Structure 1
Amino acid sequence: MRLLAVPVRVDALWLATDRTATGPTADFTRLPYLDAVTGRDANTDERFLSDAILPAPFQQDLLLPAGIHLHWSLPDALTRLTHVATTGGTRPAVDLPRVPNRWLVTRTRPDGVQDRWVVESDALTDIDRGSVVHPLLDADPRGSTGRPWRYLGRRLPLSAWPGTPTDRLAALTALDYGEPTFAAFYPNSSSVFGHHDEEYGAVAPPDGLRYDVVGWYVETADDELLAALSTAGDRSWSDTLADELGWSVPDNGGIPPARMVCFGRLTFASSAKRAPATGPGAAQESWVWVANTASEALAAHLGAVLPGVTETDTEELLEALTFADELESSTLDLPVRLAQARHESSFGTVAAGTVWTVRRQDDPLDGNGDGSVDGNGTGLGPVSVEQRQARERLTLPAGFGDLLVALNEAQSGYDAAAAEVTGARQRIFADWHRYLVCAYPQQGRSDYPDPDLVAMYLRREVSALAGRLAALGSWPPVGTGTGLVHRLLAARQAAEQALDTVNVAASTARSRFALQQVPGTPYQLANEPVVLLTGAAATPSDRYGQDGADQPDGLLPCAVLDVPGLAGADLGGPAGVRRLADFTGALATKLAAAEPDHPGLRSWTDQPWHPVLLHWEVEFFPARAGNNLDPAGRDFDPDFVTTNYTLPYGDRELRPRPENDVLDTGANVYAGSTVLSAAARPVLSTRILRYLRGTPLARANDERQAAGLPPITADQLDADPAPLLGWCAAQTGDPRLGTLAAAHRHLAEHEESNLAQSLGGFNDALVMRHLVRQLPIIDPTGFASGRALAALVDQAVAGQGRHAPVPLSDFNPIRAGALRLRRLRIVGSFGVGYDVDVDQPRTTSWLTMPNRPTWVAMPPRLAVPARVRLDLLDADADAVDRPVSGLPDSSPVCGWLLPDPLDDGLRVYATGGDWLGTLYLAADPAQPGRARWEAAPDGPVTDVGLIGNLRLRTVVERLRGLGASGLADFLTGLDDALEAVGPADPGQHQGRAMLIGRPVAVVRLALDLTASGLPAIHQDWNVFRQDLGRTGRETNEYPSVRFPVRLGERGRLGDGTLGYWLEDGRGALGDRYHDVVTLAEADGDPPLTVGIDLPARTLTVLLEPAGAIHATTGVLPTVSSRLDPAHHHEALARLETGFLAAPVLTGADTLGLVTPAADPDRVWSWRERDGAGWVETTEPPELADTFPTGLTAREGWLTLRQQSPA
């Protein structure tokens, strides 16, 4: 039989004596259950909760006995999740390959004597023989004890195998019951993918001692090789293995292998260190850096260790490389954009529902005849020129924007209610958790609430959830109703019906309009702090996810072996296994021939070290003033953030007020554990080379060419960057290049001694909850009423029970203060831990606390997903604050203002660009306290009250009320603001801009801070007692805390915010106009604040139309909004301006004027009054060559306006 030998890595931990280690991820033997033999409850001192079986961080309760502990890895292809189609092929599901369930372990002594054992990885038994514990899944055999768990895996000498028949696991995978570290962590899988040799304990393993491990599938139906080959199609079998599994085979001819076996060999080398397993680098120096991201921590580390550089400058330089693609076009405002990019990188996104839009869908152009057919199956042929032109003339029906807004409002309401339903389900699960604690108190604890009272509270919550579900409805709705889902369906049908009407006409152009769902603006959640570890302990493991990493083709080298006389069925019995065992030497020879330094053939030279877990413990010191720790009042002060922090202009981060001692002395201690991820390793060296491949490489090659040297190609740079790095180091005129060269060399030298990982679970800990895998909602030892309650709760939770409450902690939903590391422990694959020295941690320049160098500043962040919405409002919606629909006919522009320096006034224009009139810097004769208004020539708006748009009228009334002097001050500030805002396209219409100035858009917007779902609640036991007697839950009023908002970004190119008025709840303008330039120069607190529970703030903003509006809070990433070109391009093109020309000496009967050159689409016009009204002369003639005979003094308006279409 032909076999495919796939290498596995075998590691060995040698212990001279017993030692304690970190135990398995969960201890299922502590679960309560009804003993089927005795009929009595077992483990009655525990609750059926994950808390009962999960070890605490830093807990070490596993005793590893002396001897050699073997642990083998699985090929990467057998550990990766894949997406497969479910029934119908419409929805992907996640699948995990089966893994070999039989392993033959052969020990060969130096004298050639061999011992062999068979490890049955899928064996399920009820007797503890040192096997790991497996929680029973639905498909697993139950056994006869009534336990919810059984022992998994057993080992037998080959001479005694197969032994007594036993039950088998339904499906063995690398995750077993769903634990990500199952196969990777020896305490989880020691009897499944491991072997303990007791013989070599106090006696050190001799030189040349060898272990061979061979694994195979009992059933060919489980063999992943055969599953992959079944997808070959037209590919060769070797190409199929390369494509599907990432495996290479040197001899790709002949028939494909019939089975696969895994093989690994480990030989104790003569130079091996027989040292105790104390963890790596016990005597080596290690450092800890804390930052918002892995790249930020690494940049800070390099800034400290590289010679001759400053930490801050190096940190900023290396961080700029991280965002090089985004910042490539930014030069003048690079520091501003870099600061924003770094701030944004400290957040992650959380999905937030969907938004509806409309898209035009065209048939293919079909110029080559691609076979498009109509509904009758008739060929449509190529799209004609007339059809293409007709497509461009298609428009949506009138009023469709209102339907689209209504649809999005219905969708938003549905999504928000659905998120609250999820939050309610999670609260019910947390209270179920509390119920079990109350119903089954641990010995010596009797101060919990009455479980009957908690049960009644749970039923009340379930009833309230039913009300929420009734109001929400389920999609798709059935029949009629008043639920949110029915409103959503009605809004969608109304929009679709409107589109059906226009699509009848659009069909002739072979096009149609269709509704489309796109992701909504996501919520943002602050990243959990990241620790960068350096030194030997921080060596990332090459055991997992590295198959083929050292091969040119990136494939894992395998071998094909023919074993005569072996049939597939033989591998189920001793004879076939012995036959296979006789070929282990041939297997090793084959693998060595495939690759001299083959990953499956290894020598034991030292105790293995493969980091798998990180245990962490930190202290958090919250900001003091107004926090929720005051015994006299546990609610947050609404000014908690603004009292402790300020938002300096030009900064993206909230900074502690220097006059306050921000931190509270009462520290909160949080702890957790997380799986170390190889993907978290920084890749800064790659970014450095990518940058150097640009301009620096071109400059270096220019010098080399001048010196007669050949250029350095990109491929040569990738293979050997030393020549270019040497050139960079010599560039004394540009020290940045020398810094980059030094950084790359340092990274190359220490690439394998740094590991970055976030403190997973920190955000959840701040809100007193723990995200862990939860047990099913049952009460196995309870009375009938308890089991009925469990069924009721299980139905209500509906799979949303992911967070367990942590009542013995502190509630910090606003992460504002400082952090101090207390403990860090890296746990290796065998459970051996290494405690990292955290006495002198370092951090970035952004997070450094000058008076406390070992602490890390924690600027204000919300510990729950939230977002800032910046919505432009429809200018025509006077009665309601309705957002724009996103379509061209829904504009946020209420009108236009244009400073008129020639006539000392402010011109006012309608949304479409029609000139309405001018406010002059002169007192109104009838009302001296108000500025004078004059209608545009031939215009009907003789009074401000006649301006059609309510919002524009409100602004003009406010400006008129300033009086002549007040209006003059306003225009001075507006000119300064426009001067500070660079035009988006300085080369466009320069001549016209010199004549008419720069128009200013009057827009309205809504600014809102929202959080996802229901607010986080206080989980303390005393608080819960109070919650039992009231309708609401305790949040310490954190949703009412206000956060400052800076509107506009002076110094950032592309920001067009000039100033704004805050509006009250009735839409009236506030008393003050807030000029962005004046606010920036004052560097005080922004006048605008938002809060989760506060209503959205509406503002009227003056905006340079080509620029964006930026809103910065510090607590969340900066958000922005800008006008669609459709909302200002045509209006600005129509915008007409003019100036009074008086007196003009011209002929009595003819008009002759000297006018500047106009843009091609603009014409000059002369307007003057006669007895009947205004008379307009378009394109007045130039002055005649001869002096006019009859001079007449005329007075009129010289106007520049858009040329009428021909």
Structure 2
Amino acid sequence: MNTDLLVPVRLRALVVNDHVRGRDSFHRWTPNYRLLSVRRSPDPSPYASTDTEFATDPKNDGVYLHWELPAALRQATTPGGEVTLPPAPNRWLVVRHAYTASGEYATAAWVVESDFLDNSKGTAPYLRPGRGRVAPTRIGRHTEAARWTESAARQPTFLTAIGPGSLSFAAFQPHCQNVFSFHDPLALLPDPYDRLAYQVIGWHAVHSDDPLADPQVREALESSLGWQTDSTAPPGTRTVYTGRVHSVLRRHDPTGEQWPDPTVAVADSADSALTALAADRAATDPALTLAPALLDQLQSGTLDRADEPDHTHRLADIRLGAGFAEGTTSYAWHAVPPSTAQEPASPHDEQQAREAEAALNAAQHAYDEAERDLAGLRRRLHGMWRLQGLPVLPDGYRERLAQELDLRRTDSLAARVRTLRQEAERLRVSIPGGDTPEQLAASIGQYAQHHLPAGWDLKRVAPAPFHRALDPAVVLQGAGSLSAPDDTTLPCRFGDRTVTAVHHPGSPDGLNAERGDLACNTLDLGAGEHSVMPGSTRALLREAFLLDPNCPVVLGAVGRPDAGAVPTPRTGTAPAFGGDPWEQPWNPLHLLWKIEYHPLPHGQWEFDGDDYTCTGPRPEPARTYTGRTLLSDHLPRSLAGRIRQYALHAPELAPHCDALAYRVDQGDILSSSLAGLRDMLIGQDPGQGVPPLGAPPELAELIGDAYRTSPDPGPLPDDLTGWPASGFQQLRAGQFRFLRLTLVDSFGRALDVITPAGTGGTSGHRHPVVVDRLRPQHVPEALGTTPEHVVQLPPRLPQAARLGLELMDATRGTYQAASLGDGNPIAGWIVPNPIDASLAVYEPDGTALGLLRRAYRLGRPAPEAVWTPLPREPAGLPALSATSPHLRELITWFQGADAEDSPLPAALDILKTSLADVLPTAGATSASAALAGRPLALVRCRLQLDLDGPPPTDPGWQHVFDPEPPSPEFTDYPWPVRLGEQQRVGDGLVGYFTDTEPGVLRTVAAPDGTHPQLAAVGDGTHLHVMAGTPQHLTLLADPHAPVHATTGLLPTTTLEIPRRFTDGPLDRMRTVLRSGPLLTPAATAREDTVALPVRTVDDQTWTWAERATDGATWTHFATSAASTGPRWTGRAPVLRSGLLTSFGPPPPPPAADTTSP
């Protein structure tokens, strides 16, 4: 019994003949690895160095086969941090079955040695592996099977799906000729053989390369590789990869075929581009009116929250954030008390933990800064290394570059990188870390044991990440890309399940291939058939013969079969792929693009509170950029997965969701991007990201992975014109239009979607569908086109950045609250009372201080803001200047400069309006809060724009050797920031003061304009932030609701106050009500008690305080409920005015010990 594991692969066949070459366009190119010797990329520029003779030379005629490796062999892993792919099958038997109309049958076979290396006898350009220098060679060859013998030494192969490191190596047929593809020129095949079929059978030449060599993989095929079988593979099982295609027409004429006519959408993210396509369709089809909104919610995963009040804002935040990717990761640390503790941590333990936490966060911050600086220097070091290898340089540059790369020179750039790397390593060892989760957990545990109180734990969290603007996304609908079934799960067979007999219409007894004269039986496979080829090889040849509708056994039994009639297995199981008749393949793989870009400088943009607009563009001279990116069908797959996931939570909709998911999955949608555009704008060439091959080992190690892009210093300077003009752009901000947009499939066939003339087919959609926020407000005549052809890119920074809104210590303003053991961002509290138009003021810990209200003083003609200190608060206002200076400033601000200038009345009105727009939160819905108002926290924070490492600088020739390159202008640009969101009920900001404008409270709800010290936040243009220059603010906010910061430049930032800063003060906070005049009974049962119409609210008890006769001291009384019935005491009631103050319930007494002695 044969136990070979038969894994199906997809086999595609491209027919090239006079008809095809006369009609189709081709863009076929191969890498030139010899360019690496001058440190240039081996890949040609887009639209350049293509095989221009392919479509004109008849020697290119024939059939081109290309097979796709299973998904399990295309998936990388990162053991130890190094990207690794499984070994690829390196031997392939290619068999051609040829038929005539009269039933004649002939076969031919070749063996492809995929990892054969020889510079003269190999086929595809390649890099010789395992050497420390650049060694271009060629890989792959084929030999007639009858003459082939295994020649390779028995050692594991180096070959993987990415070949020499190219993502498209196995996917693009011109790159992997005689590796994972084969060209059959048909030169020796007589013309009558016009119906062809092909099959490929692959295997690993060395058993250790076979995935089944690992017993754990062999015993768990589906979980480890996604290969489904009906039983467990026995020991010794060999993996055999098999694919087939039938009914290939040698004289295929494409004259009647229609090229796809795709619609193109452009947005800042692929999701938004897909929504834009739906909106474009909905504009002409009323039945699709709701489709764009539904699509948006499905893609963002918010459909189940669509009824929530802030859904629109949340969705807008997600759409904006989708246009960014996260930059480098930084961390923060939190000390966590024991979760099983019955009592709060002792003050000593709390202090020790917070000090250790602060010290660790400081060390982490220093390490993160060093790593970011090191990354910047490494990129510069790589740039110098690459420039040194160019064949032509300005005079004296080669020598100076050699000096900067010399590690023996202490002042060289290489030595600086080495020193900074050593410093970063020194900082790293003081921080818990590890290469695996287990190592990290162990390191954290050891650190906690040595630095934290007993039982405390340490938790690592990632704060707000840096964000890098993505390049514009391009989505194409209708590109003709037929959706292929997902091959992450493959139905596989064992060798004893090959098809040995078939049923066919007209042949009820079944057909087999037992005749000895059949070509599939007589085909000479050489000596290797019985020595190195899989044992199932001959059975697979017979199977392919039987399953082909053109095979002579079928013809002899039933005559020429009907179109579409396919033999069905009588014994055995048919392979998963290859059953459908052949069609000329069209499998789009690459997107080639060329744009005309017009920069719009920073000063031409206006911030409207949400985004940037440019109503009067004055563009700089146009620049042309080109690129080549890979296409992906992940967008419909991802959306279909979300739809199926949603059905799990709505079972009643499951049938409809499944149907919709299927339609989406078959939606012929491809996505890509203008990848590299951002880098090109700052003088970096992403196409020249050459790894430091051939560099001295220590220098290559210092460069590391900082070679993704390379500086483009521009044309060489000359004596007449001097330095060339700089192409460095401060921002990605401008307008562009496509000059050309081309799809290239896996065989190199090309379809121009947009051409220089602006058309590329019969469709009216030759201009892209542009998402609303990228549509230009105005297109100047300089662009020479109409608005529908133009895409407007609002300002984006040329590097990753972060809009930080961080809590600062209220008394030590230069320190973050979380970085101090006793840090606290709360500067105080106010509670506006809606009943008597007063403000209760509290210290940061919740201790009541006093009341602010408008009142008349004797002899004063106008009311003024009066401060009433509360009983038992002897410290008074002067002491606040030292303990709570920002609270003291707020009280002073409410009081105003003079009696008639107090902003208190206007502020109380705006506070009332603002709180009505904020959804009540925990602690704000109690009955006492309804009586006395909702607490607002006075919070200190810092707003700043952080850059992820040193900013990019002009790479021009004149700046190559600058010790510190000139700082780019964008670091000094002021960027408006709008804090708060009035229409967002989940935003807690009421208003804020800035340290640069401390006398003005800017409120989210617009004031009526009657007081100069109150102003609206508006569109945020009054608050600006510059890179590296912080703004310190004092916020007035709901303590439980986040504050949102919108800049249009980066994703929306939120600030939330941790409950450890708010829970304690809110629990201690007393409700204070100014009451009176009240008539109270003349006497009570106790002289120290006042009978008042009060009741217990939220377990609160009440006390009464009133001024003593001297007007300076307070008399305090307990309260009792006043009787509601009539009574006569003979004494007159007492008229009282004073303060009602609540106190929380005392802690419960300890439980009685009921245990027996």
Measured against the shorter chain, the TM-score band is: 0.7 to 0.9
Amino acid corresponding to residue 1094 of structure 2 in structure 1: P
TM-aligned CA deviation for residue 343 of structure 1 = 1.3
Query: What's the counterpart of residue 416 of structure 1?
Result: 369
Which string of whole-angstrom CA distances, capped at 9 and with x for unpartnered residues, describes residues 611-662 of structure 1?
2222122222222xxx3xxxxxxxxxxxx35x512133xx3x2233x4xx12
* Structure 1 residues 1086-1105: Cα deviation after superposition (integer angstroms, max 9, x where no partner): 31111214x21110111122
Task: Give the aligned partner of residue 955 of structure 2.
Answer: 1019
Amino acid at match of 2:771: T
Which of 68, 85, 96 pairs up with 2:62?
68
Aligned to 1:873: 808
Distance in 2, matches of 1:277 and 1:1011, equals 56
Task: Tell me which residue corresponds to 1:380.
Answer: none
CA–CA separation in structure 2 for the residues paired with 1:879 and 1:255: 70
Q: Does residue 221 of structure 1 match 2:208?
A: yes
Root mean square deviation of aligned Cα: 4.1
The letter of the residue matching 1:768 is G
Given that 2:227 and 2:491 are in contact with CA atoms closer than 8 Å, whether structure 1 keeps it comes out as yes
Partner of 2:503: none
The residue aligned with 1:782 is: none
Residue in 1 that maps onto 2:93 = 104
Superposed, which structure 2 residues align to 1:786-797 within 5 Å?
793-797=699-703
Q: 2:149 aligns with which of 148, 157, 162?
A: 162
Q: Matched residues in 1 for 2:1109 and 2:355: separation?
A: 46
Unaligned runs of 5+ in 2: 434-440, 501-513, 515-520, 548-567, 715-725, 759-765, 779-786, 1008-1014, 1149-1157
Q: Distance in 2 between matches of 1:539 and 1:192?
A: 24
Which residue, out of 673, 694, 714, partners 1:758?
673
Moved more, 751-760 or 978-987: 978-987
Aligned equivalents of 1:575, 1:969: Cα separation in 2:
96
2:40 is aligned to 50
Decide whether aligned partners of structure 1 residues 245 and 404 sit closer, same or farther in structure 2, where only a CA change above 3 A counts: closer
Report the Cα offset of residue 5 of structure 1: 2.5
The match for 1:668 is: 623
The CA distance in 1 between the partners of 2:5 and 2:444, in whole Å, is: 60
Residue 1073 in 1 paired to residue 1073 in 2? no
Match of 1:1112 in 2: 1046
Counterpart contact for 1:14–1:201, Cα < 8 Å: no
CA distance 1:277–1:102, change in 2 (3 Å) = farther
Deviations 1:524-570 (A, max 9, x none): 112221111122x341563xx83277xxxx63456536999x9xxx9
Deviation at 1:1046, TM superposition (A): 0.4
Distance of 2:235 and 2:446 partners within structure 1? 59
Deviation at 1:1124, TM superposition (A): 2.4
Cα 1:1058/1:1003, change in 2 over 3 Å: same
Aligned twin of 1:28: 33
- CA shift, 1:216, in A, is 2.0
Superposition deviation, residue 909 in structure 1: 1.0
SS at structure 1 position matched to 2:1081:
strand
Q: CA deviation at 1:892?
A: 1.7
- Residues of 2 paired with 1:957 and 1:582: CA distance? 96
How far 1:930 sits from its partner (Å)?
7.7
- CA shift in 2, pair 1:258/1:1026, >3 Å: closer
Alpha-carbon distance, 1:293 to partner: 2.4
- The 8 Å contact of residues 58 and 615 in structure 1, kept in 2 or not, is answered as no
**Structure 2 Cα separation of the partners of residues 880 and 804 of structure 1:** 42
Q: Is the contact made by 2:43 and 2:687 (CA closer than 8 Å) also made in structure 1? A: no
Aligned equivalents of 1:243, 1:879: Cα separation in 2: 56
Q: Is the 8 A contact 2:5 2:233 kept in 1?
A: no
1:186 is aligned, of 166, 173, 185, to 173
8 A contact 2:66–2:182 mirrored in 1: no
Amino acid at match of 1:1165: T
Shift of 1:602: 4.8
Partner of 1:13: 14
Amino acid at match of 1:971: L
Q: SS at 1:822's partner residue?
A: strand
Q: Which residue of 2 aligns with 1:802?
A: 708
Q: Once the 2 structures are TM-superposed, how far is the Cα of residue 463 of structure 1 from its aligned partner?
A: 3.1
Q: Does 1:463 align with 2:408?
A: no
1:778/1:791 contact within 8 Å kept: no
Q: Could you tell me the TM-score, scaled by structure 2's length?
A: 0.80
What's the TM-score, normalizing by structure 1?
A: 0.77
SS of the residue 2:276 aligns to? helix
Structure 2 CA distance for aligned equivalents of residues 241 and 167 of structure 1: 26
The alignment partner of 2:998 has SS state of strand
Tell me whether 176-185 or 1194-1203 shows the greater mean CA deviation: 1194-1203
- 8 Å Cα contact 1:104-1:213 kept in structure 2: yes
Match of 1:1189 in 2: 1130
Aligned to 2:506: none
- The match for 1:345 is 322
Q: Distance in 2 between matches of 1:665 and 1:202?
A: 61
Change (3 A) 1:246 1:972: closer
Identity among equivalent pairs (%): 25
Q: Which residue of 2 aligns with 1:835?
A: 752
* Maintained 8 Å contact 1:78/1:96: no
Amino acid at match of 1:76: P
Whether 1:1178 and 2:1134 are equivalent positions in the alignment is no
SS of the residue corresponding to residue 318 of structure 2 reads helix
The answer to whether the 8 Å contact 2:358/2:821 transfers is: no
Q: How many residues align?
A: 1032
Label 1:114 to 1:1033 Cα distance change in 2 as closer, same or farther (>3 A): same
Match of 1:1121 among 1055, 1060, 1063: 1055
* SS of alignment partner, residue 313 of structure 2: helix
Counterpart position of 2:1012: none
1:524 to 467, 471, 494: 467
Alpha-carbon distance between aligned partners in 1 of 2:959 and 2:710, rounded to the nearest angstrom: 20
* Paired letter, 1:680: L
Please report how far the alpha carbon of residue 194 of structure 1 lies from its aligned counterpart in structure 2 after TM superposition: 1.9
Contact 1:294 1:681 in 2 (8 A): no
Amino acid paired to 1:275: D
Correspondence list, 1:476-625, <5 A: 477=426, 506=454, 512-535=455-478, 537-540=479-482, 542=484, 546-547=486-487, 555-556=491-492, 559-560=495-496, 573=528, 576=531, 582-588=538-544, 593=569, 598-602=575-579, 605-623=582-600
| CA displacement, residues 1088-1143 of structure 1 (integer Å, 9 cap, x when unaligned) | 111214x2111011112222211111111111112223322332333221214236
Aligned to 2:238: 259
Aligned position for 1:826: 743
For each residue in 1:980-1005, what CA deviation from the matched residue of structure 2 results, as whole angstroms up to 9, or x when unmatched?
Answer: 3232259831x212321222211110
Q: Which residue of 2 aligns with 1:275?
A: 253
- Bigger shift: 76-85 or 1123-1132? 76-85
Structure 1: how far apart are the matches of 2:647 and 2:446?
57
- Secondary structure of 1:305's partner? helix
CA spacing shift, 1:324–1:962, aligned 2, 3 Å: farther
Q: CA 1:1059/1:924 → structure 2, altered by over 3 Å: closer, same or farther? A: farther
Q: Aligned pair 1:975/2:912, yes or no?
A: yes
Give the Å deviation of 1:1195. Answer: 4.1
| Inter-partner Cα distance in structure 2 for 1:996 and 1:926 | 31
Report the AA paired with residue 451 of structure 1. Answer: R
From the superposition, tell whether residues 361 and 903 of structure 1 become closer, same or farther in structure 2 (CA, over 3 Å): closer
CA contact (8 A) 1:872 1:1004 kept: yes
In structure 2, how many angstroms separate the alpha carbons of the residues matched to 1:247 and 1:449? 60
* Aligned 8 A contact 1:124 1:168 in 2: no
Offset at residue 824 of structure 1 (A):
1.6
Whether the aligned pair in 2 keeps the contact of 1:133 and 1:149 (CA below 8 Å) is: yes
Partner of 1:288: 264
Alpha-carbon distance in structure 2 between the residues aligned to 1:1107 and 1:433: 52
Q: Does 2:1140 align with 1:1198?
A: yes
CA distance in 2, matches of 1:1004, 1:291: 38
Distance in 1, Cα, partners of 2:1119 & 2:1038: 30
Q: Which moved more, 1:103-112 or 1:325-334?
A: 325-334
1:996 to 918, 926, 932: 932
Counterpart residue number, 1:709? none
Amino acid at match of 1:300: A
Contact 2:29 2:50 survives alignment (8 Å)? no
Q: 1:1099 to 1:402 in 2, by over 3 A?
A: farther
2:225 to 245, 257, 265: 245
* Structure 1 unmatched runs, 5+: 33-46, 86-90, 141-145, 363-386, 478-482, 507-511, 628-639, 698-712, 722-743, 780-786
SS in 2 for 1:263: strand
